[in-house]
Structure 1
Amino acid sequence: MDHRVVFDFAIEFTNGGGIQGQDFRLDIAGETITDAELADYIIKDLRLLMVGKVDILNKFYIQEKHKRQPVNLPSPELLVDLSHTIFDGLITYKGLPAPVICDFLSREDSIGKYEEGTSFQIGKIEMVSNTGTYIDCPFHRYAHGKDLSEVELEAFANLDAITINATDALEIGIEFFQNLEIRNKAVIVNTGWSKNWNTEAYFENHPFLTREAAEYLRDCGVKLVGIDSHNIDDTRGNSRPVHTILLGAEILIVEHLCNLEKLPVSGYLFSAVPPKFKGVGTFPVRPFATLSKA
C-alpha cells in the first residue's frame, strides 16, 4: 500500500488573519514527512502569500492507495558543499602558519554578564588569508589589482559552471578544455587530489594547470577557475604563471576544493563568496554548487 499523511494545520498571515484546515490527507513518496516540509508544500500548493507562523497539528500516517501523484520533495543534495573544514592547527600550505582558533569570551567566563541561565561564546581566530579552501582575487598577485572589497558580487556567486575531469593527469593542458563551451563560465577542474587533504602526500607532486592552459582559458573569457589540488600552479619551482595570467585578466581562482566527484559535467551554478575585506586579495570561502532540481 502507498503512504499518506493525515494532519490539521493553522496558518497565520503577516498582514493579519489566518486559515485552518482539519483532517487533511496528502499522498507522500516516502513513509514520513517533516512538519517544515508539509508547511512548505501547503503554502506552495495553495499559492499563499504573506505567510507567518505555520502549525502542523495531530499528524499521523496511514497506508492507503494514492489519490494523485505523491509529493516529491527537493533532494537535500540540491546544494553540494565543495569546501574543506578549517580547524585549529590545520596546515594548508607548508611554510604558512596554521590557524589558531580559540575563545575570546568562553561560555564559562560569560556567566554572570547576562541574565541568569544565559551564556555566550565569542570566538577568536588568528590566521593567514591562505587557509583552507580559499579564493584569489587580482590583488593577491598585483598591487593595483582588485581586492576582495572591489570585486563585484556577481563575480563570486551563481556562475554557470562546467566540470573538467582531469583525475589521471599531473600537467593539465589545453586539451582538457578544447571543444567545450567554457566562455563566461566557472571552470571547475576535478583532479581527485582532495583525497590527500591533510596528509603529507597532499603537498608533493600535485596536479596543476600549464601556462598554455591558463592562456587558453584567458583567451576564451572564462569567469573563474577552481581546482581541488594543492595549487593551480606547479609548485616545484618559483614560477607561478597560471596565477599571473588568470589574475591579470581578472579571472578568479579557487584552490583546495573538494567533493568535485559529486558534480555533473554541466548544468549547475557555482558560488564562492568571501567577506568584503579591503586590502586583502585572498580569503577562505565555503564554495558550493547549486544543482538543478530536474
Structure 2
Amino acid sequence: MFRDLSRPIETGMPTYPGDPEVTLAPDATHEDGGYATGELRTGTHAGTHVDAPRHALPDGATIDEIDPGRFAVDARLVDLRPLEPREAITADALSERLGDGTDSIDLAVDAHDPAVDALDPAIDLLVLHTGWATRWGTERYRDHPYLTASAAVWCREWGVGVGLDAFGPDPTPSSAETDAAAAADEPDGSPAHDVLLGADLPIVENLCGLDELPTRFRLYAFPLRLREGDGSPVRAVAEWEG
C-alpha cells in the first residue's frame, strides 16, 4: 500500500516565518499557445521537504551531493499525542513511546551482538506524530512541539533521523503574545538541526497523513537535484504491506 504524506505545492501555502512565499501560476495555456506550462516560485524549504546538512552547517553536504538512496528509508512511527503547544519532546519521552508494545532495542539490527555497529540501525528515521498537521494553514501551526537538544543527541546515538508533521524539530517563532512565557524557556538557535544535520542524519518536515499509518513502513522522500541546495521540496510517500 502507498500513502502520500506530502503537502500540495500551491500559491499562498504556509511557509516558515521569513521564507519566500510560494506562487504557482500558468505561463503558457492551451487557449493561447496550444500547450500548458506553469511558473513556480518557491523557497527550498517550502511544504514537505528535506534538509541538507548545508542548511545548518556552512561546510555541510548539499542536497545534490547526497546519495539518492539516503532518501529511501525504513521508518518507525512514534505517536506522541497528545502534546501541548510548544511542548518540549525529551529523550525520555521518545524512549517511553518506543517502548509501548515494542522493545526499543529493535531500533538496532542486533544490539546484543557487539560486532554490530550501533550507527547501522534497521530503522533510519523516526516519524514523530505530534498531531500538529491539523493546524496547517493557521497561526497555531507555528506553535508546534519541538525536540530538546538531548533528544536530538539521543537520536544521533541511535543513528536515526527524524520526520515531523510540523515546521521542524526546533521551535518556530510565534506570533501569539500568549506564548511569550513558553518561548522564554525555549532554546536559542537550532540545536536539534545542528545535532542531526551535523551527523548527516535526515530531517523531513511538514509531513501530513500520519493517522492510521502502520508502526513500520518504508518512506520515499526524493528531493530535486538542486545544485548546492540546502534543502528541497519532496513528494513523501509511505509504503507498507497491506
TM-score bin (small chain): 0.7 to 0.9
Aligned to 2:230: 281
Secondary structure class of the residue paired with 1:162:
strand
Cα shift at 1:92? 1.6
Q: State the AA in 1 paired with 2:67.
A: E
Aligned to 2:53: 138
Count of matched residue positions in the alignment of Structure 1 and Structure 2: 204
Q: Which moved more, 1:184-193 or 1:91-100?
A: 91-100
Aligned to 1:188: 127
Listed as ranges, the gaps of 5+ residues in structure 1 are 1-77, 111-118
Listed as ranges, the gaps of 5+ residues in structure 2 are 109-120, 173-182
Secondary structure class of the residue paired with 2:69:
helix
Aligned to 1:271: 220
Decide whether the 8 Å contact of 1:164 with 1:176 is kept in 2.
no
Aligned to 1:107: 30
How well do the aligned residues superpose, as a CA RMSD in angstroms? 1.5
TM-score by length of 1: 0.66
Q: C-alpha distance in 2, partners of 1:176/1:209?
A: 10
Of 170, 174, 182, the match for 2:91: 174
Decide whether the 8 Å contact of 1:82 with 1:289 is kept in 2.
yes
Of 176, 187, 197, the match for 1:247: 197
Q: How does 1:24-43 map onto structure 2 within 5 Å?
A: none
Q: Which moved more, 1:205-214 or 1:168-177?
A: 168-177
Aligned to 2:159: 221
Q: C-alpha distance in 1, partners of 2:40/2:166?
A: 25
Q: How does 1:11-90 map onto structure 2 within 5 Å?
A: 78-90=1-13
Decide whether the 8 Å contact of 1:135 with 1:285 is kept in 2.
yes
Q: Which has the higher contact order (CA 8 A, sep 6+)?
A: 2
Of 147, 162, 171, the match for 1:209: 147
Structure with the bigger percentage of strand? 1
Q: Which moved more, 1:274-283 or 1:91-100?
A: 91-100
Q: C-alpha distance in 2, partners of 1:228/1:271?
A: 16
Cα shift at 1:148? 1.1
Q: State the AA in 2 paired with 1:212.
A: S
Q: C-alpha distance in 1, partners of 2:43/2:75?
A: 29
TM-score by length of 2: 0.80
- CA-to-aligned-CA distance 1:97-146 (integer Å, 9 cap, x gap): 32121122222221xxxxxxxx2111111111111111101011112211
Q: State the AA in 1 paired with 2:223.
A: P
Cα shift at 1:96? 2.1
Secondary structure class of the residue paired with 1:287:
strand
Aligned to 1:34: none
Decide whether the 8 Å contact of 2:14 with 2:136 is kept in 1.
no
Q: C-alpha distance in 1, partners of 2:140/2:94?
A: 27
Secondary structure class of the residue paired with 2:77:
strand
Aligned to 1:60: none
Decide whether the 8 Å contact of 2:23 with 2:42 is kept in 1.
yes
Aligned to 2:79: 165
Decide whether the 8 Å contact of 1:225 with 1:254 is kept in 2.
yes
Secondary structure class of the residue paired with 1:286:
strand
Q: C-alpha distance in 1, partners of 2:17/2:54?
A: 22
